[in-house]
Structure 1
């Protein structure tokens, strides 16, 4: 148990405990987080936009933002979670930063090491030290965002629409709402929404929606004892049979097989 439960550092090795799907599956957290990648590569999708990542990448994910990342081989790094700390003035939007300056890389590594030490030791003034380290990390992030160049070729309008869709999906994926319903809410046609999603993350709008539903289904199957029929209903599927077919198509296993083998 840490002295300051509002903040924690989670090594990437723990994110994949219980299966790589736990890191790769689309999900969101109630707290903002900063991912600091020190080694490895892959692709990460945040708010409907997919980009490649590598060593010395810093990725900020706001609270309640749909995301998931693919790992190519071993990936090392840490996720810093900031629950209940609105006074840190963290960004409201996602940011993907490629940190090329060696000194700047050392700065964030030093701050994370210091924060980790204070979290794991019962020393005088630890609470103040932890809060100060968190504040310095937020300042570091703000400065790097200010210096960053927007190198993506995806138009801003497309990124905004994808982010809007991802945000709606994150709020309503537990319902039976279709892509057409989401498109209507966004004031676009389903065809246009799918075209934009393919442009921003290489997935159709339906694939993004299905992936979020199945990711939650995996979590519920692995971490709860809820009956399959209740999980199907909770995720807006018309019937347990339809849910089972969708789950098998996505994972190669039935819900019961996944639960037994997880």
Structure 2
């Protein structure tokens, strides 16, 4: 973690600066290397009270920490750093990219028409196939920022508005993708439970169940833990234990017959399994019920 638990977090206007902005703009744009080179490629944890930053890593490597969430970037990515969020960065010496800082009044003005206030929450967006588009957009912002030409303010605001629309669309797409993944996860879990109900006596491996669902065993385990609160193996064992308890309480089957009905190869193995899961032997469990 970049942030220290005991060191007070400074509040800066820009990286390492507590003075006023270097220009009268509500915008500041510079290369990542321009500032981080002065700090040995590491920006210590700090926060900004009145500005939002957009950090575009085009090349090289970076470790980006915002409010305790760490993103290790090795491909083009755009990090949103909201106002007041504690953040710190580390960069490789070959890093390329831009830092765009926006004063809150400008952020409120430009993001007002958007449905989602995407600059109010920290996020790191992979650029993927849109690298050339983002490269051109940031290059245009940087060039416009560096030259005092007629219509400069309007052009900058227009270009930044385009960038905010891109971020808004990417945020919406990721949210929809995550929702779809959650829905698919629930469907997979429900199907696993259905298969388990049909086949728990066969003592199938987690890999077999996962293959039937078209997912990996690790994915199935993750779904079970996230949505069911147990691992896949725990769910299998709990289903076997439930059926064993039912047989011991509601039927007159012997312990050996219960063991056979549940697919155990030996009664001794069944007894060990039952005691491990309940703390009692099958016989003791039946007597106490």
TM-score (norm 1): 0.51
CA contact (8 A) 1:58 1:99 kept: yes
Counterpart of 1:156 in structure 2 is: none
**SS of corresponding position for 1:81:** strand
Instruction: Name which of 81, 101, 110 aligns with 1:88.
Output: 110
Structure 1 residue runs of 4 or more that deviate by more than 6 Å after TM superposition:
1-4
Residues 1-262 of structure 1: pairs in structure 2 closer than 5 A: 5-20=25-40, 23-29=42-48, 30-83=50-103, 84-85=105-106, 86-89=108-111, 90-101=118-129, 104-148=130-174
| Residue of structure 1 in register with 2:239 after alignment | none
Number of aligned residue pairs: 147
Q: CA deviation at 1:145?
A: 1.5
| TM-superposed deviation, 1:17 | 4.1
Return the alpha-carbon distance in structure 1 between the equivalents of residues 57 and 37 of structure 2. Answer: 18
CA contact (8 A) 1:3 1:122 kept: no
Indicate the structure whose relative CO is greater, using CA pairs within 8 Å and at least 6 residues apart: 1
Native 8 Å contact 1:57 1:98 kept in 2: yes
Aligned-partner SS, 1:15: helix
Query: 1:69, 1:26 → 2: CA distance?
Result: 8
Mapped to 1, the partners of 2:158 and 2:23 lie a distance apart of: 14
Residues in 2 aligned to 1:25 and 1:128: alpha-carbon distance in whole angstroms: 34
TM-score, normalized by length of structure 2?
0.47
Q: Quote the offset at 1:6 in angstroms.
A: 0.9
- 5+ unaligned residues in a row in structure 1: which ranges? 151-262
Retained in 2: the 8 A contact 1:4–1:119?
no
User: 1:3 touches 1:120 (CA, 8 Å); kept in 2?
Assistant: no
In the TM superposition, what whole-angstrom CA distance separates every residue of 1:85-122 from its partner, at most 9, and x where no partner exists?
11122421101111111xx2222222212222222222
Instruction: Give the aligned CA root-mean-square deviation in angstroms.
Output: 2.2
Deviations 1:195-247 (A, max 9, x none): xxxxxxxxxxxxxxxxxxxxxxxxxxxxxxxxxxxxxxxxxxxxxxxxxxxxx
Decide which structure has the larger Cα Rg and report it: 2
Deviations 1:2-33 (A, max 9, x none): 98611121211122243226x43111123101
